[in-house]
Amino acid sequence: MSSILVLPGDGIGPEIVDEALRVLKAAEKRFDLNIQLDHALVGGAAYDAEGDPLPESTLAKARAADAILFGSIGGPKWDNIERDKRPERGLLRLRSSLGLFANLRPAILFPQLAEASSLKPEVVSGLDILIVRELTGGIYFGQPRGIKEENGERVGFNTYVYSESEMKRIARVAFDLAMQRGKRVCSVDKANVLEVTELWKEVVTEEAKAYPEIELSHMYVDNAAMQLVRAPKQFDVIVTGNLFGDILSDEAAMLTGSIGMLPSASLDENRKGLYEPCHGSAPDIAGQGIANPLATIMSLAMLMRYSLQRDDVADAIEAAVEKVLDQGLRTGDIYTEGTRKVSTGEMGSAVAEALAGV
Ligand code: NAD
């Protein structure tokens, strides 16, 4: 028995999570799955109900679950409340409380959607990159940090720090994942300037010795940023620290053209994970039934693959998504002339049907 905690959140969150659950139901019918579902509040919805974007009861359920399926949080309604109570704080606290140090952001471009990219279709069609970003360390968390007065002017400072053990564990995640894919890892650093990434490069190279089948390369972050728009298909898995990963994963994501298509996972040491679409709560379209549920549905596929070790179910969900795209179904954000515009619910139902039938 596996347990999944469902946290729909705010805005379009509940709409897109409903469709992922519809797909889960179809998966349960087709495969031998024994899943116990639980639900809880998070973000603005939790603040409204309990005065806290991450109530203790939600955190306790999250700790107990094998995996978490998360919608999205936030919205203008909560923009002006005290900082600590804002919806985003709930998500950050959830990630750090669960020790989710490995952020996985695939950038996949289905050939059917190649026209949606700002790059030439031949450069991006069939793109399949996985960016592995360290999520709980590096310059975003290093101490000391702050803004101080020095010699009559203000000085801002942060500390870029990684311990060897932090570097080793994220490298291992990248190598393990690459073994399930193309067996190539590119480690991104700035070793020509920053000592911390000089050590990063050394540690990653040492860790690679335990993975003789992996082809490891190294690239400076400025070059990686260029290569991602010049020839993105050269990459299989990219592993990097928090800051570089933040920027490169957004860059890679945008190669695919639509934010509504991008899933993500954040994993702990034991592959317990939080799975969520990369986009936010889209308050501008919430409640209209037009949001694209595919990023959340593909987050469910990642959950099956990484936390439940069910590659067969993950592959089938992804195949069902592809089938529906082949049939020409599109939500508004990925619509192009000659395709059929459908609602959130129609898209979810079509994927569930395709899953049941394939
Ligand atoms: P957003 O990602 O919510 O929306 C950006 C644009 O993309 C909007 O035009 C939106 O309509 C569109 N969009 C997003 N998801 C879509 C989908 N599935 N289908 C179709 N169109 C989609 O980013 P934003 O507008 O900057 O932020 C809105 C709120 O979301 C803010 O409160 C922000 O703090 C929050 N947010 C939450 C998360 C999260 O839950 N992890 C991430 C980012 C932003």
d(CA 274, CA 66): 9
Mean pLDDT of the chain, nearest integer:
95
Higher pLDDT, residue 337 or 198 = 198
Predicted local distance difference test score (pLDDT) of residue 138: 94
Going by C-alpha positions, the residue among 78, 109, 28 that lies closest to residue 281 is 78
Q: Does the residue 88 lie in any domain?
A: yes
Span 3-47, pLDDT tens digits: 999 999 999 999 999 999 999 999 999 998 999 999 999 999 999
If you ran DSSP here, which 8-state letter would residue 120 be given?
A: -
* Centroid of ligand 1 to alpha carbon of 285 (angstroms): 9
Which of 190, 211, 236, 333 is flagged as catalytic?
190
The answer to whether residue 222 is catalytic is: yes
Residue whose Cα lies nearest atom 7 of ligand 1: it is 282
pLDDT band at 83 (very low <50, low <70, confident <90, very high): confident
How many angstroms does the Cα of residue 295 sit away from the middle of ligand 1? 12
Domain count along the chain? 1
pLDDT score for 214: 98
Position with higher pLDDT, 260 vs 172? 172
Q: Per-residue pLDDT tens for 114-157?
A: 887 888 988 998 899 999 999 999 998 899 999 999 999 999 99
Considering the domain boundaries, does residue 75 fall inside one?
A: yes
Closest alpha carbon to 96 in 139, 141, 64: 141
Reported as a pLDDT band with limits 50, 70 and 90, residue 358 is low
Asked whether 263 lines ligand 1 (CB < 6 A), one says no
Residue 95 contacts residue 336 (beta carbons within 8 Å): no
**Does some domain include residue 153?**
no
Ligand 1 pocket check for 253: Cβ under 6 Å: no
Residue 27 lies in a domain: yes
| 189 in active site | no
Residue 138 lies in a domain: no
H or E element in which residue 166 lies: helix 164-179
Any ligand 1 atom below 6 A from CB of 282: yes
In a domain, 64, yes or no: yes
Structure tokens at 92: 């950050």
Residue 328 counted as domain residue: yes
Q: Which DSSP string corresponds to 34-49?
A: -EEEEE---THHHHHH
Rounded CA-CA distance 257/249 in Å is 13
The answer to whether residue 160 is catalytic is no
User: Does residue 246 have an active-site annotation?
Assistant: yes
Q: Kindly state if the Cβ of 289 falls inside 6 Å of ligand 1.
A: no
CATH of the domain at 313: 3.40.718.10
CA-nearest residue for atom 12, ligand 1, is: 282
Q: What is the pLDDT of residues 201-256, one digit of tens each?
A: 999 999 999 999 999 999 999 999 999 999 999 999 999 999 999 999 889 888 88
Q: Would you call 149 exposed, middle or buried from its count of C-beta atoms within 10 A (0-12, 13-18, 19+)?
A: exposed
Q: Which residue range(s) make up the domain with 73?
A: 1-104+272-358
The active-site residue out of 48, 79, 84, 222 is 222
**Cα separation values, 186 from 47, 132, 169, 218, Å:** 41, 10, 16, 5
Instruction: Name the residue with the closest Cα to ligand 1, atom 1.
Output: 280
**Ligand 1 pocket member 72 (CB < 6 A):** yes
pLDDT at 5: 98
Report pTM.
0.92
**pLDDT band per the 50, 70, 90 thresholds, residue 58:** very high
User: Would 115 be classed as within a structural domain?
Assistant: no
CA 225 to chain CA centroid, Å, is 19
Active site residue 120: no
Residue ranges with strand state E in the chain: 2-9, 35-39, 67-72, 102-108, 128-134, 146-150, 153-157, 184-189, 215-220, 237-240, 263-267, 273-277, 329-330, 340-341
